[in-house]
Amino acid sequence: HERFGDRAVLEAQYDSMRRWVEHVAGLAGESRLWSAGFQFGDWLDPAAPPDRPRDARTDTHLVATACLVHSADVLSSIARELGLGDDAARYAHLAGEVRQAFAREYVTPAGRLAADTQTAFALALRYGLLPTEDQRRHAGERLARLVHQAGYRIGTGFVGTPLICDALCDAGLDDMAYRMLMERGCPSWLFPVTMGATTIWERWDSLRPDGSVNPGDMTSFNHYALGAVGDWLHRTVGGLAPLEPGYRRMAIAPRPGGGLTWARARHRTPYGIAKSAWRIDGGQLVVRAVVPPNTTASVRLPGSASSFDVGSGEHEWSVEWRG
C-alpha cells in the first residue's frame, strides 16, 4: 500500500491482521507483556551457535513485546486508512498500554535496556519505546558505543538488521551507519562480497572466513532477510522515499556519507518512474530528481535542515560540499 497505493491489499488482509493482534494481546494478558511461549526472537544473531539459531543475545520476550507494540501501531494506522475509526482508536490504545508495560519492564530511568544489545536499542529507538527525550538520547549514545565496541561489525539477526541503520540515523549518527555499511570483516554486509558472493546469504557467515561452509542445518546462499538494509539504502543513501501511499507525495532527501561519491535510486510508481540521484564532483554535490506527473516531492538537500516542495518534472540542484 505504501509503495503502490493499493488499498485492496489492506481490505483483503484486514481481518487476518486484526485477529492476529487480538490473539497476541490475549497471550500478553493484563500485564501487556508477551512473556511466555516459544519465540524465534532475533533469529540468527551472529553470536548464536550454528546449531542453535534462536540463541540470540537479546531476550526473546523483549523482542516479542516490542513487536506487539509495532503490530498494534501498524494496525491502528491501517484501520484509520480504511475509515474504521473505532478500531483505529482501540489499537492505538493497545499500543500505548503495551508501550507502557515495555518501559516498566525493560527500560531504566536513564534509558538503558534490560538487554544491552544492538537489536534491543534499535527496536526501542525505531518503535518509540522510550518515554522521554533524555532516555532516547542516552539510548542513542549507548547504541553508538555498542556499535563502536563491535568494531562496526553487525550484531543483529533477522529482527534488528532492518532497523539498525535507521536507528543510528535517527540518533544523528549517520557516520556510524555508514561505517557499519562499509565494514568488510565478518559479520558485515560486505563480508560475503569479499568471499565472492553475488547473493544475500541466510547467515552472516554461511561461508566462513576460512572458506568452509557453516555447519548449521540452515545454510542458504540465497536468502533475503539480511538484505533488508536495501530499504535503508534506497531511502537514505539514494534519498527516495514515499510520503503518501503510492508516492503521490515523495521525499527527495539523500544523505551522503561513507566515502561514496555518487548514488541513485528509482521506483516505478503508479504515476511513472521516480528517481533520485546525486554525485560529488569538484567540491560540488549535484542532486537530480525525476518527479512523475500528478505527484509532488518534498526536497531536502544534503547539509540543509529545511525542505521545499517541487512539482512533477526533471529537477537539478547544486550545493557546496566539504563532507
CATH at 303: 2.60.420.10
Q: What is the pLDDT of residue 282?
A: 86
For the beta carbon of residue 169, count every other beta carbon within 10 angstroms.
Answer: 20
Sign of the torsion formed by the C-alpha atoms of 41, 45, 50 and 55? negative
Residue 2 covered by a domain: no
Judge whether 139 lies within some domain. Answer: yes
CATH code assigned at 58: 1.50.10.10
CA distance 57 to 35: 16
In a domain, 225, yes or no: no
- Using DSSP's 3-state secondary structure scheme, residue 206 falls into coil
| Phi/psi at 62 (5° precision) | -65, -45
Of 160, 157, 124, which Cα lies nearest the Cα of 140?
124
**Structural domain containing residue 274:** 239-320
Phi (first) and psi of residue 299, to 5 degrees: -110, 130
Neighbours of 64 (CB within 10 A): 22
Using a pLDDT cut of 70, give the percent of the chain over it: 100
Please say which residue of 168, 185, 201 terminates a domain: 168
Q: Are 157 and 252 in the same domain?
A: no
Residue 288 CA, distance from chain mean position: 25
Give the pLDDT band (50/70/90) at residue 190. very high
Residue 230 belongs to a domain: no
Q: Do 118 and 266 fall into the same domain?
A: no
Q: What is the pLDDT of residue 257?
A: 96
| Residue 98 lies inside a defined structural domain of this protein | yes
Count, in order, helices (H) and strands (E) of the chain: 9, 8
Segment 200-259, tens digit of pLDDT: 999 999 999 999 999 998 899 999 899 999 999 999 999 999 999 999 999 999 999 999
Rounded to whole angstroms, how far apart are CA atoms 165 and 169?
Answer: 6
Q: In this structure, are 113 and 13 located in the same domain?
A: yes
Of 153, 168, 183, the residue at which a domain comes to its end is: 168
13 and 155 in a single domain? The answer is: yes
Q: Does residue 205 lie in a domain region?
A: no
Residue 61: per-residue pLDDT: 97
Could you tell me the end-to-end alpha-carbon distance of the chain, in angstroms, rounded to an integer? 36
Q: Is residue 208 part of a domain?
A: no
∠ Cα 133 74 224 (to 5°): 100
Residues 151 and 275 both lie in one domain: no
Point out the domain boundary residue: 142, 168, 194: 168
Same domain membership, residue 250 and residue 155: no
At 304, is the secondary structure helix, strand, or coil? coil
Q: How far apart are CA 298 and CA 135, in angstroms?
A: 30
Rounded Cα gap, residues 124 and 122, in angstroms: 6
The sign of the dihedral angle between the CA atoms of 102, 94, 143, 207 is positive
Number of domains in the chain: 2
Return the DSSP state at 93.
H
Give the mean pLDDT of 120-136: 97
Rounded to the nearest 10°, the torsion over CA 7, 9, 15, 16 is -150
* Pair (148, 28) in one structural domain: yes
pLDDT of residue 322: 83
Convert the pLDDT of each residue in 202-217 to its tens digit: 999 999 999 999 999 8
Model pTM?
Answer: 0.94
Q: pLDDT averaged over the chain?
A: 96
Distance of alpha carbon 235 from its chain centroid, rounded? 10
Q: Is residue 323's pLDDT more than 80?
A: no
Residue 120 lies in a domain: yes
